[in-house]
Amino acid sequence: MSVPLSYIWRNLAARKLTTLLTAGGMALVVFVFATVLMLEEGLRKTLVETGSPDNVVITRHSAGTEVQSVIDREQAAIVENQPEVAYSTNGLRLASKETIVLISLAKRSSDKASNVLIRGVGQKGIELRPQVEIAEGRMFRPGSTEIIAGKSVAERYKGAGVGETLRFGQREWTVVGIMDAGKTGFDSEIWGDVDQLMQAFRRPVYSSVILKLNDPAAFSELKTRIENDPRLTLEVKQESVFYAEQSQLLANFIRYLGMILSIIFSVGAIIGAMITMYASVANRATEIGTLRALGFRRKNILAAFLLEALMLGAAGGVVGLVLASFMQFFTISTMNWQSFSELAFSFTLNGAIIIKSLAFALIMGVAGGFLPAARAARLSIVDSLRAV
């Protein structure tokens, strides 16, 4: 039988200020840890879910992103007519030849500008992205200078709301609708008719071709054929893979910076826990001696103090998680270095993050409590009874 739980947690409650400060320090560290994980997950969700599993993105070989990619009309036509391409209900191929440009737009809140991605899409463009819906207004009419804006762009940039106009490529473009892409990358884009945009920017070439496969398993066949075709200098990727690769630099940066910060911060919190636990042991020396005299073993004492430290960690973990969960109300908008265009994503909390954060908190507790608990266990009965 070990030392009663009520003894352990009531000692924490008896020293309210100390417990508050120590657990508070750990809570802040868990907050940073959880927030970074949530940011990473938000970024991953945004990008990975931007892609559908049966869609394929074709760009020029080793272009990296659509912005750098150039596909001429002949190559685009060849690609469009591959046998693996699915057909829609009205008998047309589910393929969209698209062109990407980045334009500098001024934000609504400040006058600072950022690069926004404009995507000229083919007729099937929106059908190829089932996660995209028209939330407000309507789809642009093909062959016109109408455009639709992603939710994030409409909110953040001047002139990107329904009924407003943007001027670029020496023309006025009217926003007639807002698309909701379910927090994926398309929320940060503006879409228009590909032919109109190509004319306006005098770019007679496409950036990419998006295809829907009639059978997702046919991907490798299609990939091999296109990449080995001597007429074509293209590379084929599954849409989700394509977008995941696009954010690698940013995702890695967030992950490494976040982990380094969490580790450094945790050192501070662990030191705090250590100081508290050492004081706890020192102040209760007579109690420890009494418990040992009554017959409790050294390992019971060790376990009791470790448990006390774990409880501190758990308290900090829970508070930190609760604080972090409020971050879900915020969205981050920053430039993705690889695609050079702005991307909006938010903090996403899931079960794995909750578990990891709590585990992190408990580990901090153990790390801080171990040496003091060992010291408590090592005390000789006679010495600790004599302590004042």
Partner 1 sequence: MENLPKPIVQIRQVTKSYHRGEQWVPVLTNISFDIISGEFIALMGPSGSGKSTLLNLIAGIDKPDSGSLKVNGIDIATLSEADLADWRAANVGFIFQFYNLMPVLTAFENVELPLLLTRLSRGERRERVELALSMVGLTDRVEHYPSELSGGQQQRVAIARAFITDPVILVADEPTGDLDRASANEILAMLERLNSEMGKTIIMVTHDPHAAKSAHLIRHLEKGELDVTN
Partner 2 sequence: MHFLKLILRNTLRHKLRTSLTVLGLVVAILAFGLLRTVVDAWYAGAEGASSARLVTRNAISLVFPLPINYQERIRRIQGITAISHASWFGGVYVTPKNFFPQFAVDAKTYFSLYPEYLIPPADMKAFLTDRKGCVIGRKLANTYGFKIGDTIPLRGTIYPGAWSFTVRAIYDGAEAGTDTSQFFFHWDYLNETMKKAVARRTDWIGVYVIEISDPDRAAEISTEVDAMFRNSLAETLTETEKAFQLGFVSMTEAIVVAIRIVSFLVIFIILAVMANTMAMTARERIAEYATLKALGFGPYFLAGLIYGESLAIALAGGVLGILLTFPVADRFSEQVGTLFPVFGVSLETIYMQAAAAIAVGITAAILPAFRAARVPIVEGLRSIG
Give Cβ neighbours of residue 33 (< 8 Å, ≥ 6 apart).
Answer: 258, 262, 265, 266, 320, 356, 357, 360
If one asks whether residue 378 binds partner 1 (CB under 8 A), the answer comes out as no
Q: Which of 91, 294, 329, 351 binds partner 1 (CB under 8 A)?
A: 294
**Which of 372, 170, 148, 376 lies closest to 278 in space, CA to CA?**
372
Size of the site for partner 1 (CB under 8 A): 26
If one asks whether residue 285 binds partner 1 (CB under 8 A), the answer comes out as no
> If contact means CB under 5 to 8 A according to the sort of partner, which of partner 2, partner 1, none does residue 255 touch?
none
Residue 133 CB coordination number (10 Å):
12
Q: Longest Cα pair distance anywhere in the chain, in angstroms?
A: 93
Q: Are residues 194 and 98 in contact, defined by beta-carbon separation less than 8 angstroms? A: yes
> If contact means CB under 5 to 8 A according to the sort of partner, which of partner 2, partner 1, none does residue 274 touch?
partner 2
Binding site for partner 2 (CB under 8 A): 17-18, 21-22, 24-25, 28-29, 31-32, 60-64, 67-68, 101-104, 112-115, 168-170, 201-202, 204, 233, 248-249, 257, 261, 264-265, 267-269, 271-272, 274-276, 278-279, 283, 332-335, 337-338, 340, 342, 388
Task: State in angstroms the smallest separation of the CB of 114 from partner 2.
Answer: 5
Q: Between helices 285-294 and 248-283, what is the axis angle to 10°?
A: 80
Q: Are residues 142 and 123 in contact, defined by beta-carbon separation less than 8 angstroms? A: yes
Q: Pairing between strand 234-238 and 55-60? A: antiparallel
Q: Which is nearer to partner 1, 113 or 382 (CB)?
A: 382
Q: Which of 168, 201, 278, 296 binds partner 1 (CB under 8 A)?
A: 296
Q: Which amino acid would we find at residue 174?
A: T
Q: Which of 83, 91, 143, 295 binds partner 1 (CB under 8 A)?
A: 295
Task: State in angstroms the smallest separation of the CB of 191 from partner 2.
Answer: 17
> If contact means CB under 5 to 8 A according to the sort of partner, which of partner 1, partner 2, none does residue 267 touch?
partner 2
Cα separation, 383 vs 387, in Å, equals 6
Beta strands in 254-359 (DSSP E): 331-335, 342-346
If one asks whether residue 201 binds partner 1 (CB under 8 A), the answer comes out as no
Q: What are the residue ranges of helices labelled H in 49-131?
A: 73-80
**Which of 269, 365, 262 lies closest to 313 in space, CA to CA?**
365
Sole window of 40-48, 115-123, 294-302, 355-363 interacting with partner 1 (rule: CB under 8 A) = 294-302
Residue 295 CB coordination number (10 Å):
8
Task: State in angstroms the smallest separation of the CB of 265 from partner 2.
Answer: 6
Sole window of 152-160, 191-199, 215-223, 296-304 interacting with partner 1 (rule: CB under 8 A) = 296-304
Q: Are residues 33 and 262 in contact, defined by beta-carbon separation less than 8 angstroms? A: yes
Task: State in angstroms the smallest separation of the CB of 182 from partner 2.
Answer: 21
Q: Which of 74, 297, 350, 359 binds partner 1 (CB under 8 A)?
A: 297
Q: Which is nearer to partner 2, 35 or 52 (CB)?
A: 35
Q: Rounded to 5 degrees, what are φ and ψ at 41?
A: -65, -40
Take residue 322 and report the two structure tokens written for it: 């609760």
Q: Which residues bind partner 1 (CB under 8 A)?
A: 1-4, 6-7, 10-11, 13-14, 286-287, 289-298, 380-382, 385
